[in-house]
Copies of this chain bind each other. A is one copy, B any other.
């Protein structure tokens, strides 16, 4: 390998510390460089590793197993695992049935669509997904998001058929979006919604959802279509005239208290995790029985009434493949699909980390997308992983995705035979179930931790929260995304720079703000640039360095110290430089030349030294002015000032 010598030949006669030369990495041809970049960007987790050095037949089997992981873990399936999955599946089924009916109302759909969505998608997921703990089905936030976005376009009450068709169209495009992102390995785009923004958004969504439940809770008939807190409160107090239905309130409040107490018990003692899990089902059974006995529906208590019997009818012909609604459905689908992905991937990663197995994010996305595409053709709406149900699944001892198959089977029987039993279920119960479910989305601990760690993150969190609560779900989401992007923008355009000083009795140079004992070297200004120098920040970096120089000159003039004659730029963090950065370095060199200050570079990385040579800047600045370490650079300027070791 070819290493050009670039360092000075300055050596101490006595100690003879070995002065290494700055290494020039071997020239990589364009194609291998491009290949390496593509690999790192899109295939960072090396998904084709298991395929290496395998015979063709094995490769085929591996390929099938990659697309349908069930063929991989299904081979080692045994009765012990089935037992765990059976118990977990039954537990989450008891939780999901009342939630499905409730969440379908959030999405302004008839209750059976929630049950449909807990039947087909989990089955598809069990075949194609890789997470062992995730529980698939409709979730509160996505249902709310869909309901809000869809009802902006079509009135769900007046135009129910078209509303449903648009819902299926949106689900179809949500699935297409998810498959596309996963297939083209663009999964990293999901990471662009920062954790803090998601916490704020979820908390705001939880408040919004709870406020929506006041309609069912208080038995209000005329309710605003808007979701922000001001409009909802206005509706609530406006209807106070007509009087709220006290029977509904009694039922609602009592069972809500019951559910919240059950939740608390489950949280306090992990052994009682099953208590909040069966709480909703018990509430439904008891309240239905109670309403049936007392015929409370005749006294104004609103009930579910009719749930269509039978399993998912096909709905391929109901999806809009052309016309105005195609675009609208696509837009809504893309947004809903990405939010659904964020939830599912977060859940998948959390449990994979806890149980210490690897999860291929992009493969998961393909599985989730396929399940939604197929779901849209079988009368389901957007399904994803549910935090609460996945946690219950995990606690109940699930082993594989078979728990989802068990749950889907229970839902199947419910759809086939048990739907008439829900006729007298009061809406207030569904409202109470939803409220008790979303309460846990408001994560005070996470918000407090964010406040302690990073104030900017906290601003993002609060911005998203208040945006959702006081304006609308879409605006809150927009705020969350915008603040996330603004943070990246800030990182990219205003990188940090620092003045370095020598830590006494070492050859180590550190930030003088962090290490007050670090002493500046007289006549030398050492600046560290903490970022790659690209077009987005090259001008700022150049001007910032010149400003550091001006500040130092002022200080030096005031205190009568040695005038600055050398400017050392410590380039360890500068991982890369592009043409704009090269221009900025050359302009800096010329600016300093005019002021009779020598520019010295310390520790450029491989990419940087390569480009400095290619552009001729290294020759311009002087190859003997580029050193391996700051200590070497300082030694070349002022031999007596180097700290001894």
- A157 in the interface (beta carbon within 8 A): no
Task: Decide if B579 touches A196 in the complex (CB within 8 Å).
Answer: yes
- A34 in the interface (beta carbon within 8 A): yes
Task: Decide if A44 touches B536 in the complex (CB within 8 Å).
Answer: no
Complexed CA–CA distance, A44 and B494 (Å): 9
Task: Decide if A1 touches B188 in the complex (CB within 8 Å).
Answer: no
Please tell me which one of the listed residues B17, B511, B580, B594 contacts residue A645 in the complex, with CB atoms under 8 A apart.
B17
Chain A contributes a number of interface residues (CB within 8 A of B) equal to 94
Question: Residue among A34, A349, A535, A628 with the most chain B CB within 10 A?
Answer: A535
Asked, given contacts A195-B535, A540-B188, whether A516 binds B1 with beta carbons under 8 Å apart, the answer is yes
Please tell me which one of the listed residues B18, B515, B534, B587 contacts residue A487 in the complex, with CB atoms under 8 A apart.
B534
Q: Which residues of B contact A510 (CB under 8 A)?
A: 23, 628
Task: Decide if A353 touches B591 in the complex (CB within 8 Å).
Answer: yes
Complexed CA–CA distance, A426 and B148 (Å): 63
Please tell me which one of the listed residues B33, B536, B580, B609 contacts residue A455 in the complex, with CB atoms under 8 A apart.
B33
Task: Decide if B491 touches A449 in the complex (CB within 8 Å).
Answer: no
Encode contact with B along A12-32: 1 for CB under 8 Å, 0 otherwise. Answer: 000101101001110000100
Q: Considering only CB atoms, which chain B residue lies closest to A359 in the complex?
A: B543
Q: A444 to nearest B CB, angstroms?
A: 15
Q: Which of A298-342 contact B (CB under 8 A)?
A: none
Please tell me which one of the listed residues B515, B517, B611 contacts residue A454 in the complex, with CB atoms under 8 A apart.
B611
- A506 in the interface (beta carbon within 8 A): yes
Complexed CA–CA distance, A34 and B353 (Å): 35
Please tell me which one of the listed residues B506, B532, B573 contacts residue A491 in the complex, with CB atoms under 8 A apart.
B532
- A276 in the interface (beta carbon within 8 A): no
Task: Decide if A455 touches B615 in the complex (CB within 8 Å).
Answer: no
Task: Decide if B583 touches A195 in the complex (CB within 8 Å).
Answer: yes
Task: Decide if A192 touches B579 in the complex (CB within 8 Å).
Answer: no
Task: Decide if B578 touches A495 in the complex (CB within 8 Å).
Answer: no
- A555 in the interface (beta carbon within 8 A): no
- A445 in the interface (beta carbon within 8 A): no
Please tell me which one of the listed residues B25, B191, B193 contacts residue A537 in the complex, with CB atoms under 8 A apart.
B191
Question: Residue among A356, A503, A573 with the most chain B CB within 10 A?
Answer: A573
Encode contact with B along A465-484: 1 for CB under 8 Å, 0 otherwise. Answer: 00000000000000000001
Residues of chain A touching chain B, judged by Cβ–Cβ distance below 8 Å, are 1, 3, 15, 17-18, 20, 23-25, 30, 33-34, 37, 40-41, 44-46, 188, 191-196, 349, 353, 356, 449-450, 452-457, 484, 487-488, 490-496, 503-508, 510-511, 513-517, 530-532, 534-540, 543-544, 547, 572-573, 575-576, 578-580, 582-583, 587, 590-591, 594, 605-606, 609, 611, 614-615, 628-629, 645
